[in-house]
Structure formats: C-alpha cells, structure tokens
C-alpha cells in the first residue's frame, strides 16, 4: 500500500534475513576450511604449517573468476537498453572501460554532462577498487583463521555504518 512502513512488513524481514544468509554461510565455510587444515596437521609428523590466507583467498578468487563470465553476461542481458543488442552493449561497455568517454552517452540519460564523465578513468578506478577488495578479502581470511567466522561476520556488519559515513564525502 502507498505510504506503508516496510519496517513492519514480514516479507521485508525475510528478505533481510536471506540477504545475510549467503555471507554467513560463506564465513562458516571459510572457518571450516581453516579448521579442517588444522585437524589434518595434527596427524602429520613433519613440520606443522598454518594454512595461509593467501592460498584460501586465491582458491576463492579462482572460483569467482570461473563464475564471473556467466554472471556478467546474465547481468548485461538484463540491464542493456532495449534498443541495443547484447553484442553492441558489451562492445560499448568495453569502450567505456577503456576510457573512450563518448560511449557513455549511450548508457546514461544525462543533460548536464555527467554522462561524459562516467567513463573517465574507468579502468583506473576499477584497478583501485580491485586492490582494496583483495586486501579486504585477505584481511577477512586472516580474521577467520585467527579468530572465528562469527567474529568476522560481526566485524563485517560494521561496514554498514562505515559505508554511511563514506557516502557523505563528495566523491
């Protein structure tokens, strides 16, 4: 209904619960990986080594890399403008990514020039994001290895207030 308060809607509570389910399972599986390694190390007589966070992060990254093309194609198909074919949309998206800014006019309806700025430094910003993302993920694996999945899941929830503060900055 119009003007309905979604905070009391049971379906909204269910949606929020489901949105937290995937990360919670992910954290639990990461901890299980580290604990299984520790258990295996107990029965080995040679030098015992802790499972390195970089190894686990690389394995998770490889898995994500294998799924990325399918997810990207599905997302591009759903989000492309109706007047474009998927091939045209992807070729213009890659042109935007390579900083050819005039392709942005095809994606955004914008009269004040922001569309032309949308592709400026696209791949450079992506590289910065990927660097921060890799460091963030390795820090999560380190917390899971040294503490627990619960600790890292709760710490991950602190991202919400930090994100709120960062959105106040004039990016």
The per-residue pLDDT for range 103-136, each reduced to its tens digit, is 555 555 555 566 567 778 889 999 999 899 888 8
Lowest mean pLDDT among 15-19, 36-40, 73-77: 15-19
Q: How many CB atoms lie under 10 A from the CB of residue 54?
A: 13
| Whether the predicted pLDDT of 1 surpasses 60 | no
d(CA 67, CA 94) in angstroms, rounded, equals 19
- Write down the pTM of the prediction: 0.58
Residue 23 near residue 156 (C-beta atoms within 8 A): yes
* Angle formed by the axes of helices 10-42 and 122-146, nearest 10°: 60
> What pLDDT does 103 receive?
57
Mean pLDDT in residue range 67-89:
87
Mean pLDDT in residue range 140-157:
80
User: How high is the mean pLDDT of the chain?
Assistant: 77
């Amino acid at each position: 209904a119009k003007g309905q308060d979604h905070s009391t809607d049971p379906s909204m509570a269910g949606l929020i619960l489901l949105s937290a389910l995937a990360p919670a399972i992910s954290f639990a599986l990461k901890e299980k990986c580290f604990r299984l390694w520790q258990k295996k190390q107990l029965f080995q007589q040679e030098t015992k080594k802790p499972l390195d966070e970089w190894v686990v992060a690389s394995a998770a990254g490889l898995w994500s890399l294998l799924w990325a093309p399918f997810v990207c194609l599905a997302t591009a198909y759903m989000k492309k403008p109706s007047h474009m074919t998927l091939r045209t949309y992807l070729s213009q998206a890659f042109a935007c990514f390579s900083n050819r800014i005039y392709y942005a006019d095809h994606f955004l309806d914008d009269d004040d020039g922001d569309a032309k700025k949308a592709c400026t430094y696209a791949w450079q910003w992506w590289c910065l994001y990927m660097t921060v993302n890799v460091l963030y993920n390795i820090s999560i694996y380190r917390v899971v290895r040294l503490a627990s999945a619960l600790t890292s899941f709760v710490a991950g929830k602190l991202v919400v207030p930090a994100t709120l503060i960062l959105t106040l900055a004039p990016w």
